[in-house]
Structure 1
Amino acid sequence: MYVDMGNLAADAVTLDFSVAGTTADQWNVKVSQIPCSSNYRAPNKCVKYYTGASGTVTSYGFPGNTLLQNQNYESCIRQEAGYCSILWDQSTVTPPADAFDLTNAAMADQATNNVITACGKSFVKIPNAVLGPTSAPITAFCGEVFGVEAQTVANSFTSSTLPFTLSTFTGAGAANTLTTFDPVANGYSLDYVQQAC
């Protein structure tokens, strides 16, 4: 997790952990400061930062099959030399894990793309994602499949918008306001492959 902060001696970052109930859990947290002029520094507003021509981006909590509530952050992928677009796919995971399981699917195992009317509780955004050169761009994705509205099969989407980003939003109650056919949202795991110019 990258946190932007000022560069003055009085600037500080505070980490707060909120745990419901009683617990004996402990954490080891490593904190590294990165010089402002560093070439490996994440761009401003990028909470997650990925490098390399391919990789996997997951939502916080995904390894534990948990969709965290009240999240609003951006994952950024560094554009590698010679690459001008990025291809996104739903990851292949071992059942019972589900690689794309956000809230608000109209029906079981269906994709949803309308952030205004359907994706209010949780969604991801990829700027100007398209299925092909002649398709209209889709920006928001929610539901139970990373795909086109009302479809039950996952699709691959390409974006040429720079910088390469994937935004994540989950509201209060995102994990527990689902339909009767999917009582628990798991989050997402999406693979990316940068495409040559």
Structure 2
Amino acid sequence: MFELLLAVIFAAATITSGQISIQGHTLGDDTINDISPHAAVSERQGKFFPLFSVVRFANSQCTGTNNFNGTCFTRRECTNYAGTASGTCANGLGVCCVFTRTCGTSTSANNTYFINPGYPATYAGGDRCTITVNRCHSKICQLRLDFLDFSLAQPNSSGVCDLDFLLVSGGASTVPRLCGENTNQHVYVDFNGATPITISIDTNTNFAFDRRWNIRIQQIECDSPCRAPNGCLQYYKGVSDTVTSFNYGTTVNTRAPLIGTRQMANLNYGVCVRMALGYCSIQWSQSDTLSFTVSGDTGSLDTTVIGRKIKFIFTIDIIISELNFSYRAIHFLGTDLAAVTGTDCTKDFVIIPNPSINGTAENVDRFCGNGLVTKTSSLKPFVLYVVTDGDEIGEIQNRGFILDYTQIACAV
């Protein structure tokens, strides 16, 4: 709580020759020092004027005129913390203080926005761009990073982020190296005691690309219901929602349009869902027939939506081959015929613990290939695991996944 002392003062005023003088008291922008209601009156006409009150307001979250989240502070406090006043809060008594930082800076303020130089303009690239995040107080245990805008160079043909990538270091939990298109994604990272967390973005100026990023950094208290459980890189809280793999997209990898993949290598993380009150199980399903392509040569199944195939039509045999590809694309992709399960999933896969189909338990929990049959799991907590290996060569045109989840109410 911060006190705003309004321009109304308890003071001992001396009236002499029609003038009022305040004895030994100073008035700042936000505070008043050494004012006593018992100051002596030097003339018989002197009187006390009870003219001030104390107004208190919390440093709560607010929304600035630029639609960024900020914290409600007095104007002086906002300036002292190197923030920017963006509208008012607390019924006009405070300002909505927004914190934006770019390369080579640090912050201890909640709701800090880490942006590329010149944002919202794009960035040609340069040296490593870092921000150091310190806890705003000792009861902070976790950060949530929201990628409000995130566009870096695509991974190479092996799925490795080698030109541009985001790194998070200093925390007690691991965030994988990320690149490509990840707008609207989020990750959680735990503090390791009081050790600061460093967020870095490396870019390669030798590769022409219109990069941009705007990452909101939220600090989460140890006892907050918004804190993600241990082992959860991502955390969803709705009864239903959509989960998208990193760098998912419907266009080809521009760095390797014929043989590359949008799926990133070396991933191993958990996507957790908070169990809603009165709900006992969760159902996972692909969002559409093209939204689960995590292993195998997807390009040979779909020659129109996912990838581009070079067409050499010289003979009738090749024409028939082209027709066969089209048939497979229509009838296999996104169905149980394209789904792979169990021990056949050794490189890239998702894990749905203790799954069942229409009430019948399955004896496998690994799923890959180019289709996912809808699964239900009652194991708590609700979690989806995502694993990819270190080399995506041969996994042509894989995009990753978009999965919908829906929590199912407990039986009465």
Contact 2:272/2:381 (CA < 8 Å) preserved in 1? yes
Q: Is 1:13 aligned with 2:197?
A: yes
| 1:184 equivalent in structure 2 | 397
| 1:72 equivalent in structure 2 | 268
Q: Is 1:127 aligned with 2:366?
A: no
- Tell me which amino acid in the other structure corresponds to 1:162: K
Question: Separation in 2 of the partners of 1:4 and 1:36?
Answer: 10
Question: Separation in 2 of the partners of 1:50 and 1:104?
Answer: 29
- Shift in Å, 1:17: 3.0
| 1:141 equivalent in structure 2 | 367
Question: Separation in 1 of the partners of 2:199 and 2:362?
Answer: 42
The Cα offsets for residues 150-191 of structure 1, whole Å up to 9 and x where unpaired, read as xxxxx22100000000010111122x322xxxx211000111
The Cα offsets for residues 115-153 of structure 1, whole Å up to 9 and x where unpaired, read as x4x32221000101110323324311100001xxxxxxx
| 2:255 equivalent in structure 1 | none
Contact 1:105/1:112 (CA < 8 Å) preserved in 2? no
Q: In structure 2, do the counterparts of structure 1 residues 72 and 50 end up closer, same or farther at CA, with 3 Å as the change threshold?
A: same
Q: In structure 2, do the counterparts of structure 1 residues 136 and 167 end up closer, same or farther at CA, with 3 Å as the change threshold?
A: same
| 1:151 equivalent in structure 2 | none
Contact 1:111/1:145 (CA < 8 Å) preserved in 2? yes
- Tell me which amino acid in the other structure corresponds to 1:3: V
Aligned counterpart for 1:173 among listed residues 388, 391, 396: 391
Aligned counterpart for 2:341 among listed residues 110, 113, 119: 113
Q: Is 1:88 aligned with 2:277?
A: no
| 2:233 equivalent in structure 1 | 47
Question: Separation in 2 of the partners of 1:140 and 1:19?
Answer: 35
Gaps of 5+ in 2: 1-186, 252-261, 302-332
- Shift in Å, 1:62: 1.1
| 2:85 equivalent in structure 1 | none
- Tell me which amino acid in the other structure corresponds to 1:121: K
Mean alpha-carbon deviation: is it higher for 19-28 or for 76-85?
A: 19-28
Contact 1:104/1:120 (CA < 8 Å) preserved in 2? no
- Shift in Å, 1:12: 2.2
Question: Separation in 2 of the partners of 1:62 and 1:190?
Answer: 11
| 1:100 equivalent in structure 2 | 292
- Shift in Å, 1:19: 4.4
SS at structure 2 position matched to 1:2: strand
Contact 2:287/2:404 (CA < 8 Å) preserved in 1? yes
- Tell me which amino acid in the other structure corresponds to 1:47: L
The Cα offsets for residues 10-47 of structure 1, whole Å up to 9 and x where unpaired, read as x1222233446434523222211111111111111111
- Shift in Å, 1:104: 3.1
Question: Separation in 2 of the partners of 1:135 and 1:32?
Answer: 40
Question: Separation in 2 of the partners of 1:120 and 1:138?
Answer: 13
TM-score, normalization by structure 2: 0.40
Greater fraction strand? 2
| 1:149 equivalent in structure 2 | none
Question: Separation in 1 of the partners of 2:361 and 2:232?
Answer: 28
- Seq. identity, %: 36
Question: Separation in 2 of the partners of 1:16 and 1:60?
Answer: 18
Question: Separation in 2 of the partners of 1:87 and 1:39?
Answer: 23
- Shift in Å, 1:105: 6.8
Question: Separation in 2 of the partners of 1:28 and 1:133?
Answer: 44
- Shift in Å, 1:64: 5.8
Question: Separation in 2 of the partners of 1:61 and 1:88?
Answer: 20
- Tell me which amino acid in the other structure corresponds to 1:15: I
Contact 2:355/2:361 (CA < 8 Å) preserved in 1? no
Contact 2:297/2:397 (CA < 8 Å) preserved in 1? no
Greater fraction helix? 2
Contact 1:105/1:111 (CA < 8 Å) preserved in 2? no
SS at structure 1 position matched to 2:189: coil
Mean alpha-carbon deviation: is it higher for 48-57 or for 101-110?
A: 101-110
- Tell me which amino acid in the other structure corresponds to 1:52: G
Task: Name the Cα RMSD after superposition.
Answer: 2.2
Q: In structure 2, do the counterparts of structure 1 residues 156 and 2 end up closer, same or farther at CA, with 3 Å as the change threshold?
A: same
The Cα offsets for residues 49-106 of structure 1, whole Å up to 9 and x where unpaired, read as 101111111111114652111111100000000000001111037xxxx200011379
